[in-house]
Amino acid sequence: MHDKATIVFNPALYGVLEAKAAYIGKKCTITSKGKNGQDGTGNEHGEDGADGGNLTLTLHFVELQDLTIDTRGGDGGKGVNGKNGQRGMESTTYKVTTRDAKGKMVSSIVSHPGTSGTAGGNATDGGSGGNGGNTMLVYSTTGFIPIFNSKRGHNNITLLYYAGKDGFTGKPGEGGYQSYDGDVVYKEPKPAHDGRIRLIDKNAKVVQSSTRPQ
């Protein structure tokens, strides 16, 4: 893989890649990341993010600069903001001074009733994040030890396998004078989980399994 090269797998399918001699340049990526959900429109909720795909990679690294393996779930789309209601007008009172029939100045208080505004529109919540995909990496190397999830130096492999983030909830619209603000309309949440990582070092015959640190 040349510098900044990317291999993309369809996250809806199980991805398999085998290379008996892998030459990895700088900032290379193998990805089956789930697609981010679309933002809501109209009265719709944000769309859920897609699940990340599962990968099995069997690679013998001859050269390795830095490689990212990404099976994260997609982020949920944003919810919709509610529209503000018509403002209306508050009631007002003011003082009026006039002359009476005898020419004397007389003051009176004049009141104008207000007009009610309209209620604010409802907002919707964002979509749920997608599940992170699982990765099994069976690897061996020629004369070096790979470093996992460290951006320092060469021979680095970054593993991204987390669930996607939930989309932001929209803001309810503000109601006008003597009217109610909008609410947030929620949908049933969809819990998402991180993927799992399994690393098999063929040289050392070591198996490691990983999840997100608590």
Report pTM.
0.82
Predicted confidence band of residue 185 (pLDDT cuts 50, 70, 90): very high
Q: Report pLDDT for 195.
A: 97
How much is the average pLDDT of 50-63? 97
Predicted confidence band of residue 208 (pLDDT cuts 50, 70, 90): low
Burial of 133 (0-12, 13-18, 19+ CB in 10 A): buried
How much is the average pLDDT of 83-99? 87
Contact by Cβ (8 Å): 67, 156: yes
What's the mean per-residue pLDDT of the chain?
Answer: 92
CA 167 – CA 186 distance, rounded (Å): 12
Helix (H, G, I), strand (E, B) or coil at 93: strand
Q: Report pLDDT for 112.
A: 79
Q: Report pLDDT for 207.
A: 60
Q: Report pLDDT for 213.
A: 47
Contact by Cβ (8 Å): 123, 182: yes
Contact by Cβ (8 Å): 107, 93: no
Contact by Cβ (8 Å): 2, 29: no
Q: Report pLDDT for 160.
A: 97
CB under 8 Å to 22, separation ≥6 — which residues? 1, 59, 60, 61, 62, 63, 64
> Is the model more confident about 89 or about 212?
89
Q: What percent of the chain has pLDDT over 90?
A: 75
Helix (H, G, I), strand (E, B) or coil at 53: coil
